[in-house]
Structure 1
Amino acid sequence: MHSSLLLEIEEAKRAAIEVLVHNMHGPFHGLPRTAGWGYPEPYTRDLMLSILGIAVSGNQQLMDSIRKVLETLALNQTKLGHIPSLVHDSEDRGASDTTPLFILAVGIYRRVTLDKHFLKSALEKALLWMEYQSPSDRSLVAQQPTSDWRDEQWVTGYGLFVNTLTYSYLKLLGLYERADKLRHAMGRFTITSGVMHKHVHEGLVVMYKPYYAFWSYKIFSSERFDLLGNSLAILSGLASSSRANEIITWIENECINMRKNGELKSDLPPNFFPYIKPTNPDWHERYKKYNNPGEYHNGGIWPFICGLYVAALVAAKRYRLAEKKLIEFTMIVKLARKTSLKYGFNEWIKAQDGMPMGQDWQTWSAAMYIYAAKCVETRETPFFSSS
């Protein structure tokens, strides 16, 4: 990589640390805020995902801060083991992804600090809670619509993101037998016949396409593409090496087509496509206000997900492509709604015109930039490649 580009990446990494340090103390019990000016609340899922960047940053202040977050979550955990959606609020419940993210984050924190017994009781309760999230008692984790990070998009039944998270923490914690059962369950095809035969169980593999389905439940499924879930499938090793490369090639080819027809401006992929349109059967009336095609969860470009995609490219040994995408990522994190900012680390970007539409100085956008840069620099994927 050219020296001038390396300097740009180093500058962006320093800016990302500045964002994380700025966001470290918010107005709620001194816990980190989710974005620099908007989102003063400590959202669990954002902060749990941010540990990937914090853990490779080498910044002890940030590690101490994330420890406080984890300990506060343990104190606010329900008696059955569920982790709340807001770190400080034990009554804000119902998210499907906060508990698996907590388990993953505790595993990462233990790996970095070598504290094998950190939050032992809370972790055991959370693991038990997750076992009970499988209605068929066959490893796949189910969820209610709009209960994961997509709070404005329906995921019904067995969602890819939550299940790839579960697979990732099982491997990280060395629970290989359970991880293998989940991998086997996810490896079944979605059911497309309209009839569910006895002893035939649905999975998340899409017929005739390389990627995993967005969600599946009984005879129903969505075969739209989820970049977050598929990136985690590659990063965690759930996808075989050949499947991982097929998924990446498919993504890049689809993005070329979207750029040709005006659906995408950036060289980075949207979080979800093809976009749901008002004429589609999976369109919901509420999407008209919050989730139009190419926006928010319905195809917006999310920097934190782009960071995981860059990491997935490294995991698949597509190093040159990972470098190329990191350079584009470096350009994307400069975009800001507040024009005085040199680096915006914005929440999400509109796909069709590349304009920043979310909150600036978003914690997980900054953290995942640091993680992606580390992966490209070392050609390793910390907390996944060695698990």
Structure 2
Amino acid sequence: MKTGNWDEIEKAKKAATDVLLHNANGPFQGLPRTAGWGYPEPYTRDLMLSMLGIAVSGNSKLMDTMRKTLVTLAANQTPKGHIPSLVHDPEDRGSSDTTPLFLLAVGIFRKVTAEHDFLQDAVSRSLVWMEYQSPSDRYLIGQLPTSDWRDEQWVLGYGLYVNTLVYSYLRILGQDDRADKFEHDMKRFTITGSTIHHHVHEGLVVKYKPYYALWAYKVYSSERFDLLGNSIAILSGLAPKSRAQEMVAWIEGECAGLKKKGVLRGNLPPNFFPFMQPEDPDWIPRYTEFNLPGDYHNGGIWPFITAFYIAALVAAGRFQLARLKLFALTEMVKLAQNKDLEFGFNEWHKAQDGLPRGQDWQTWSAALYLYAAKCVEEQETPFFDEMRR
């Protein structure tokens, strides 16, 4: 590792911590902000994903902030166990990923603090809620379109990302028997025939490809590539190491092809590809305004997702490639809408030019950068190493 590059990483780590401390006390009940200026609200999914970086930061103030956030979420949990989309608003409901993210974040918090019964009542209710989210009354979790982090993109039925979260919280909370059965169901193939027999259950494995489907439900599925879901599949051990290594090679090869076509700039992968085009059957008219090819959820480059990919590279044993991607991410997080900022930690960047398009000082961009840097530095993936073992 070149010293100069690592010096830049150390500067970025300090800047990321400064962003998180700046965002730690927002205008809503003193809960953390989602971004430095643009999003003052405490969005549950953003803050729960940020738990990974905060947990490895060693910063006690940030951990105290997460304790307050988790306790507030538990207080605002519905009687049936669902976790709201905004930490402070028990009426803002309907997200498919907030409850599994809460369970995962509590599991991480317990590991760091050794408070093994932390929020046990809330955890128990959420575990029951999640069992009722399986349409087949088995293990894979179903969701409605735009209910996960992609609020401008349709993912329906058994979504990969949400289900990798489910597997991860089952493992970190010691629910190993259910995790084993979940893994068995997920590793079934997607259904490609026009007829389903009563004994056939769909999974998320795509025939002849190394990655998992974006979503599947009965005879329908999407084979577009979801970087976040597949990265968590690698991290958690859902993807065996041989599949993980094949997947990494496939991702890098596909990104080289996108660069050759002129639709991807730089050395970091988009969150989703191939991009949906207006003539594609899965195109929705609203995408013209919010989700153009290479934008936002339709192929934008998201620093927090890139950080998950870097961690997945470490999990797959691709240490040198992980370092190279971390160097590239370090250059990207310098870019900002506000030109007075030394580090922008922006929300997302357009694939075709790599320029920032979202909000600066995004909490999850800063937090997951810290997690990626820790993974590369230690050649370990905190909280996920044990799952893979």
Q: Fold-level match, TM-score > 0.5?
A: yes
1:55 and 1:112 map into 2 onto residues whose CA distance is 7
**Residue number in structure 2 paired with 1:225:** 225
1:229 and 1:37 map into 2 onto residues whose CA distance is 28
The aligned runs of 1:65-214 (5 Å cut-off) are 65-214=65-214
1:386 and 1:208 map into 2 onto residues whose CA distance is 29
Structure 2 residue matching 1:201: 3-state secondary structure: coil
Structure 1 residue matching 2:82: 3-state secondary structure: coil
Identity of aligned residues (%): 68
Deviation at 1:11, TM superposition (A): 0.4
Counterpart of 2:351 in structure 1: which amino acid? A
Structure 2 residue matching 1:335: 3-state secondary structure: coil
The aligned runs of 1:227-242 (5 Å cut-off) are 227-242=227-242
Deviation at 1:163, TM superposition (A): 0.3
**Residue number in structure 2 paired with 1:20:** 20
Show CA shifts across 1:93-123 (max 9, x none): 0000000000000000000000011001000
**Residue number in structure 1 paired with 2:384:** 384
2:224 and 2:5 map into 1 onto residues whose CA distance is 35
Deviation at 1:174, TM superposition (A): 1.3
**Residue number in structure 2 paired with 1:358:** 358
1:206 and 1:196 map into 2 onto residues whose CA distance is 17
Q: TM-score, normalised by structure 1?
A: 0.99
**Residue number in structure 1 paired with 2:52:** 52
**Residue number in structure 2 paired with 1:11:** 11
The aligned runs of 1:313-324 (5 Å cut-off) are 313-324=313-324
**Residue number in structure 1 paired with 2:340:** 340
Counterpart of 2:66 in structure 1: which amino acid? I
Show CA shifts across 1:130-189 (max 9, x none): 000001011000000000000000001000000000001111111111111111111011
Structure 1 residue matching 2:385: 3-state secondary structure: coil
1:351 and 1:359 map into 2 onto residues whose CA distance is 16
Provide the aligned length of Structure 1 versus Structure 2.
387
2:331 and 2:194 map into 1 onto residues whose CA distance is 46
Identify unmatched segments of 5+ residues in structure 1.
none
**Residue number in structure 2 paired with 1:328:** 328
2:120 and 2:216 map into 1 onto residues whose CA distance is 33
1:73 and 1:172 map into 2 onto residues whose CA distance is 19
**Residue number in structure 2 paired with 1:262:** 262
Structure 2 residue matching 1:386: 3-state secondary structure: helix
Structure 2 residue matching 1:216: 3-state secondary structure: strand
CA-based RMSD: 0.5
Show CA shifts across 1:6-25 (max 9, x none): 11000000000000000001
2:100 and 2:175 map into 1 onto residues whose CA distance is 14
Structure 2 residue matching 1:382: 3-state secondary structure: coil
Deviation at 1:380, TM superposition (A): 0.6
Asked if 1:276 is matched to 2:272, the reply is no
2:272 and 2:2 map into 1 onto residues whose CA distance is 32
1:218 and 1:322 map into 2 onto residues whose CA distance is 36
Q: TM-score, normalised by structure 2?
A: 0.99
2:52 and 2:126 map into 1 onto residues whose CA distance is 20
Q: Structure 1: which 4+ aligned runs deviate by more than 2 Å?
A: none
Deviation at 1:386, TM superposition (A): 2.0
1:384 and 1:175 map into 2 onto residues whose CA distance is 15
Structure 1 residue matching 2:216: 3-state secondary structure: strand
Deviation at 1:196, TM superposition (A): 1.2
